Structure 1
Amino acid sequence: MPDRRPIEVVQLGVAPEHGGLRLDAFLCSQIEGMSRARAANHLTQGHVRLLAGPANAKIKASLHVHKSMVFEVCLQPRPQLSALPEAIDLTIVYEDEHLLVVDKPAGLVVHPALGHESGTLVNALLHHEPQMAGLGDQYRPGLVHRIDRYTSGLLVVAKTDAALRRLGADFAKHQLERRYVAIALGNLRDDTLTARGLHARHPTDRKKFTCRAADGKQAVTHLTVLARSPLTTLVVATLETGRTHQIRVHLAELGHPIVGDDTYGGRRPHPKTERTLHDAGVLAQVPRQALHAYALGFTHPHSGQPLRFELGWPTDLVEIAQSLFGDAAKLPSLDQAVFRG
Structure 2
Amino acid sequence: MESFDWKVTEQQKSNRIDKLLTTLNEDWSRTQIQLWIKDEHLKVNNNKVKSNYKVEEGDHITLVIPEPEELEITAENIKLDIVFEDEDVIVINKPRGMVVHPAPGHYSGTLVNALMYHCKDLSGINGVIRPGIVHRIDKDTSGLIMVAKNDMAHESLVDQLKAKTTRRLYKAVVHGIIPHEHGTIDAPIGRDKKDRQSMTVTEDNSRDAVTHFTVLERFDNYTYVQCELETGRTHQIRVHMKYIGYPLVGDPKYGPKKNSFDIEGQALHAAVLGFIHPRTKEELTFEVPNPTDLEDLLHLLRTK
TM-score interval, smaller chain: 0.7 to 0.9
> Which aligned pairs between 1:12-23 and structure 2 lie closer than 5 A?
none
Work out which of the residue numbers 179, 186, 203 in structure 1 matches 2:193.
203
> Which aligned pairs between 1:129-168 and structure 2 lie closer than 5 A?
129-132=119-122, 134-168=124-158
Q: Partner of 1:258 in structure 2?
A: 248
SS of residue in 1 equivalent to 2:30: coil
Work out which of the residue numbers 63, 74, 77 in structure 2 matches 1:87.
77
Contact 1:260 1:288 in 2 (8 A): yes
Structure 2 residue 288 is matched with structure 1 residue 311: yes
Gaps of 5+ in 1: 1-17, 19-25, 43-69, 270-282, 327-341
Work out which of the residue numbers 156, 163, 180 in structure 2 matches 1:173.
163
| Mapped partners of 2:215, 2:145: distance in 1 | 24
The letter for the 1-side match of 2:265 is: R
Work out which of the residue numbers 89, 94, 101 in structure 2 matches 1:104.
94
The letter for the 2-side match of 1:158 is: A
What is the percentage of aligned positions where both structures have the same residue? 42
| Mapped partners of 1:166, 1:71: distance in 2 | 35
Residues 47-72 of structure 1 deviation map (CA, whole Å, 9 limit, x = unaligned): xxxxxxxxxxxxxxxxxxxxxxx984
The letter for the 2-side match of 1:88 is: I
Contact 1:86 1:119 in 2 (8 A): yes
Q: Partner of 1:321 in structure 2?
A: 298
The letter for the 1-side match of 2:160 is: D
| Mapped partners of 2:51, 2:162: distance in 1 | 37
Q: Partner of 2:6 in structure 1?
A: none
How far is 1:215 from its partner? 2.9
How far is 1:292 from its partner? 0.3
| Mapped partners of 1:71, 1:92: distance in 2 | 44
Contact 1:153 1:294 in 2 (8 A): yes
The letter for the 2-side match of 1:308 is: T
Structure 2 residue 275 is matched with structure 1 residue 298: yes
Work out which of the residue numbers 196, 203, 207 in structure 2 matches 1:213.
203
SS of residue in 1 equivalent to 2:109: coil
User: How many pairs does the alignment contain?
Assistant: 259
| Mapped partners of 1:96, 1:194: distance in 2 | 35
The letter for the 1-side match of 2:207 is: K
Q: Partner of 1:34 in structure 2?
A: 30
Work out which of the residue numbers 224, 229, 232 in structure 1 matches 2:219.
229
TM-score, normalization by structure 1? 0.69
Q: Partner of 1:9 in structure 2?
A: none
| Mapped partners of 1:160, 1:251: distance in 2 | 35
The structure number with the bigger radius of gyration is 1
| Mapped partners of 1:92, 1:319: distance in 2 | 23
Q: More displaced, 182-191 or 283-292?
A: 283-292
Runs in 1 of length 4+ with deviation above 6 angstroms?
26-31
Q: Partner of 1:333 in structure 2?
A: none
| Mapped partners of 2:182, 2:280: distance in 1 | 35
Contact 1:260 1:287 in 2 (8 A): yes
SS of residue in 2 equivalent to 1:230: coil
Rate the CA distance shift 1:267–1:189 in 2: closer, same or farther, 3 A: farther
How far is 1:165 from its partner? 1.2
| Mapped partners of 1:121, 1:71: distance in 2 | 33
Contact 1:199 1:211 in 2 (8 A): yes
The letter for the 1-side match of 2:249 is: V
How far is 1:244 from its partner? 0.4
Residues 40-92 of structure 1 deviation map (CA, whole Å, 9 limit, x = unaligned): x99xxxxxxxxxxxxxxxxxxxxxxxxxxx9848xxx9x94553322222110
SS of residue in 2 equivalent to 1:144: coil
How far is 1:108 from its partner? 0.5
How far is 1:217 from its partner? 0.9
Q: Partner of 2:233 in structure 1?
A: 243
Contact 1:163 1:302 in 2 (8 A): yes
Structure 2 residue 182 is matched with structure 1 residue 192: yes
| Mapped partners of 1:120, 1:161: distance in 2 | 21
| Mapped partners of 1:213, 1:82: distance in 2 | 40
Contact 1:28 1:206 in 2 (8 A): no
TM-score, normalization by structure 2? 0.76
How far is 1:189 from its partner? 2.8
Contact 2:216 2:225 in 1 (8 A): yes
